[in-house]
Amino acid sequence: MIDKKDHLDVLAVSTVLILCMSWGVQQVVIKLTLVDISPVMQAAFRSIGAMVILTGWALIRRDPLFVRDGTLWWGIAAGIFFTVEFVLIFWGLEFTNASRSVIFLFCSPFVVALGSQWFVPGERLNRLQFAGLGIAFLGIIIAFGESMTLPTKTMLVGDAMLIGAAIFWGAATVVVKAGPLATISPTRTLLYQLAVSALILPVASWSLGEPGVIRWSTFAIVSVVYQTIWVVAITYLAWFWLIRYYPAPKIASFTFLTPIFGVFAGWLILDEPLTIALLVALMFVATGVWLVNRQEKGDG
């Protein structure tokens, strides 16, 4: 029997903060690698590599990978959502800028919260917690408000893609929580999604007319290794472990911190400006996350 938690403990909070920092830095790494490897092809490489790594890990641990337990179609559905999410993210960044895209992408916690209301019994947010989500999202808008100029039609296409990516990201999380995938190991849950994306992403890259690998520079190799081993094989596995044992809406609320960490990474690595708006946004995000995770009397 799975020992599920009804609130976030120190282990969960520490883990999800590390994940958010890693995903924030990942945006900078992907941006720096674009001169060497096309974006969707980057996603394909990391899915294929991480699938090989996790399959080897499962075999070493003698975890059964092929079991008739009713999870196949759920796993394929989660994998399709996972794949479409990354196609929309990377393709959308060709049309809109990163500061705009992150605002729309991190609508995902709303999708998780709403989906959990309908499909995951016992994981309902109250009005105060929904207000917390709204405050955190307002923080994101403040952080990137300086770049929110009137969009061109091309930018609107990219914005729509990122909104779609957020919906698919949230939907994948809800599928994992609402069905039998919640009862299997995080390794198998992630392998379902990696297997589907490993098949689709290379085809998507070719269909989009990407040049693929432009050159294998030292940085490109390090980037692919970082994205494959740390981001996908380790942090994504940790993410599915978290949403298996902890309330998905509360875990998802912390993803609002990812773009904040991304901006700090941009400041440190790319010498991008660190503004007062960002510091104000951090206050909003911290307040919002606290409200979402606040224990009401009688909640246990």
Range of lowest pLDDT (15-29, 41-55, 94-108): 94-108
Name the DSSP letter for residue 236: I
Predicted local confidence at residue 300, as pLDDT: 44
Question: What total number of domains does the chain contain?
Answer: 1
Examine residue 14 and state whether it is found in any structural domain, yes or no. yes
Would you say residue 5 lies in a domain?
no
Residue 57: how many CB atoms within 10 A of its CB? 14
Does any domain span residue 256?
yes
Assigned domain for 299 exists: no
Sign for the CA dihedral angle at 284, 287, 290, 291 comes to: negative
Residues 6+ apart with CB under 8 A from 142: 277, 280, 281, 284
Amino acid identity, position 104: F
Look at residue 116 and tell me if it is in a domain.
Answer: yes
- The pair of structure tokens assigned to 4 is 């599920």
In this predicted model, what pLDDT tens digit does every residue of 183-233 receive, in sequence order?
888 888 889 999 999 999 999 999 988 999 999 999 999 999 999 999 988
Is 298 within a domain? Answer: no
Structural domain range at position 233:
10-62+70-292
Average pLDDT over residues 148-173: 80
Q: Global pTM?
A: 0.77
- Residue 2, in any domain of the structure: no
Q: What is the pLDDT of residues 234-292, one digit of tens each?
A: 998 888 888 778 887 778 777 777 777 877 887 888 776 677 877 787 788 778 877 77
CA dist 280 and 20 (Å) reads 19
Mean pLDDT of 134-153: 71
Residue 102 within a domain: yes
